[in-house]
Amino acid sequence: MIADQMTGARNTVQEQADVDSNNSDDLSPQLAKELGQLLERDWTNRPEWAHMLTALLQGKPMGMGMGWWQPSHSRYAWNWLREQFDANLDDKVVLDELPERFPERSLYFERLDRNGDGELTVDDFDWSARNSHEQVVADRPRRAESDEQDDSLSFAKIINMFLSGQFGWLNAGPELETEAIDFTLPTYDGTSNVTISDWRGKKPVVLIFGSFT
């Protein structure tokens, strides 16, 4: 049933967006918001791209914790740190609980202690909008609207870009522990090539994919 609703909703929104992508009035934002709320409520096991669509339909601000901008997954997140160093099992890690064999433990602790309270907790590893620290940062005064460049896209354009694949990728990204695909690319100076599998198991490799245009 949800799949049928989603197919119909996608076709309807796409048809409306194609009518005039420059006029958001044709999309009936209120109806789109209600549709997004309906899908968010009833489609609980929706894929990553559908989280993004429901956020767009409801006009939610784009940022960490919204749509497909969710916190990353890591082997070495809060749960790992707690299991390794929370000696008294109080769901907190203080500096004294880190082994003295780490010569720069004070430096690492300071970088991880985002709110500066002298304790490492799950909040220090939460980069979503739910985090009280992130909310404080988000509430900082912004520049006056007259000082900001008006480069916002209309609602219709955003939906049209999303459905046509211009605004993100509809396939989900790799899961934690998924082996990276093998590929060969030239170095930045064009003097040699780099094959990712040549580095597998030898040293950490960071892959960054994105558009910088």
pLDDT tens-place string over residues 97-131: 999 888 899 999 999 999 899 999 999 988 766 66
Question: Does residue 157 lie in a domain region?
Answer: yes
Question: Does residue 193 lie in a domain region?
Answer: no
176-205 pLDDT, tens digit per residue, is: 888 888 999 999 899 999 999 998 888 888
Q: What is the pLDDT of residue 132?
A: 62
Question: Does residue 131 lie in a domain region?
Answer: no
Distance of CA 109 to the CA centre of its chain: 25
Host domain of residue 31: 2-71+152-163
- Same domain? For 14 and 112 the reply is no
- Same domain? For 118 and 15 the reply is no
- Same domain? For 6 and 95 the reply is no
- Same domain? For 11 and 58 the reply is yes
- Same domain? For 64 and 19 the reply is yes
- C-beta separation of 105 from 99 below 8 A: yes
Q: Report the distance separating Cα 85 and Cα 128, nearest Å.
A: 24
Q: Report the distance separating Cα 59 and Cα 44, nearest Å.
A: 19
**∠ CA 160-166-171 to the nearest 5 degrees?**
105
Q: Report the distance separating Cα 183 and Cα 195, nearest Å.
A: 6
- Same domain? For 65 and 159 the reply is yes
Question: Does residue 208 lie in a domain region?
Answer: no
Q: What are the structure tokens assigned to 118, written together?
A: 């002298």
- Same domain? For 64 and 86 the reply is no
- Same domain? For 18 and 63 the reply is yes
137-179 pLDDT, tens digit per residue, is: 444 454 444 444 444 567 778 878 888 877 777 777 778 888 8
Quote the pTM value.
0.51
Question: Does residue 192 lie in a domain region?
Answer: no
Distances from the Cα of 159 to the Cαs of 29, 39, 154, in angstroms?
Answer: 11, 16, 9
Domain count, the chain: 2
- Same domain? For 10 and 50 the reply is yes
Q: Report the distance separating Cα 105 and Cα 82, nearest Å.
A: 15
More confident of the two residues 212 and 88: 88
